Structure 1
């Protein structure tokens, strides 16, 4: 029985080796060959030179629409950016682009407090949830 077990283990190792080589041929080696073939090919005579390409316009700022006055972005500190539009007011952390605070300006917290917007996200310890 020990010889049969050894034979099965040896067969499993051979099948595993063949499977690994087939995977290498399918996924790893063709990518390397393709990059080498592109580098060895000469440039064709029909390729466009830099002189044949049209020039880009240098003054592109005149064609852009002006930003709406309601959108404002100010840096509140060295690591945060405060954005205010007509709908939301958000504080974005510049490290990782996390939204730290988000308030809906058109929806008050209470009918009695129309100037205090609803806070969807808040960075305070009391409301911090992970």
Structure 2
């Protein structure tokens, strides 16, 4: 399953878990906050309620990015140097649960993004899940 309009980033994209840089965390957090709007969220019982805290190193972030623009490789960027990036369109944030489980903590998307994008990311997260235990 692939969509050409955006890139999906899961831990499997990089061959396993990768630590987000502070700039990446800030970018994703800012997008998620802007999509929330001004009314209180209702109808979800999520697990953690925060994003990007350094104490939450075991969390998993899955993102969809809009039309890609190639970013220049950064010194020491590792597997992400020169990757294609675009505006964040959707984000899922999972927290560890039990010995080998994940609990969905945050699920947001840009209101201008295609309907079904969050569901698409859930499928991609499930596809990547077996590689998280390696």
User: Under TM normalisation by the shorter chain, which class is it?
Assistant: under 0.3
Structure number, greater radius of gyration:
1
In proportion to residue count, which structure has more strand? 1
In proportion to residue count, which structure has more helix? 1
